[in-house]
Homo-oligomer: A and B are copies of this chain.
Amino acid sequence: MTDEHYMKQALNEARKAYAIGEVPVGAVVVWGDRIIARGHNQVELLNDSTAHAEMIALTSAFSELGSKYLPEGTLYVTVEPCLMCCGALHWSKIGRIVYGARDDKNGYRKYVKENEAHEPQHVFHPKTQLTFGILADECGQLMKDFFKERRK
């Protein structure tokens, strides 16, 4: 299966968030070719400002596997992780992270040190691979639509 395939699944999760008035971010964790965990933003529903899609998907994946590390897993998330989710992904030792749209306002790149090439430091586990930009337009458009509607 392609990255696009799994990102579409993460987008489905994001749309669930949108439908209940949550900032539309969605995530899935893939192990082999199987989706073992899903999550969408539930900050309002749970009254918990840490209930981001990635946190929910990670905790669900740990529970599913009975393991606190996910070295062979891939997390797909529609929007660049924030600092908290970036730190959680670090601890999870996840094998690969794929995110869609960049988030200049709340994404982790805003906060973490840069390397000599002026790129954000690799703050994940050293073995974690990072890919971004998959279905970025769709992922970002969902966010734009949400905030545009809220401002009405």
Residues of A within 8 A of B (CB): 43-44, 46-50, 55, 58-59, 62-63, 66-69, 82-88, 90-93, 108, 111-114, 121, 123
Contact = CB atoms under 8 A, between A and B. Distances in A.
A79 to B, nearest CB: 14
Contact of A47 (B46, B62, B85): B62
Contacts of A121: 111
A121 to B, nearest CB: 7
A53 to B, nearest CB: 13
A63 B113 CA distance: 34
Given A47-B68, A58-B50, A113-B113, A82 B92 contact: no
A127 B113 CA distance: 23
Given A83-B123, A84-B84, A50 B113 contact: no
A93 to B, nearest CB: 8
Contacts of A62: 46-50
A84 B55 CA distance: 10
A113 to B, nearest CB: 6
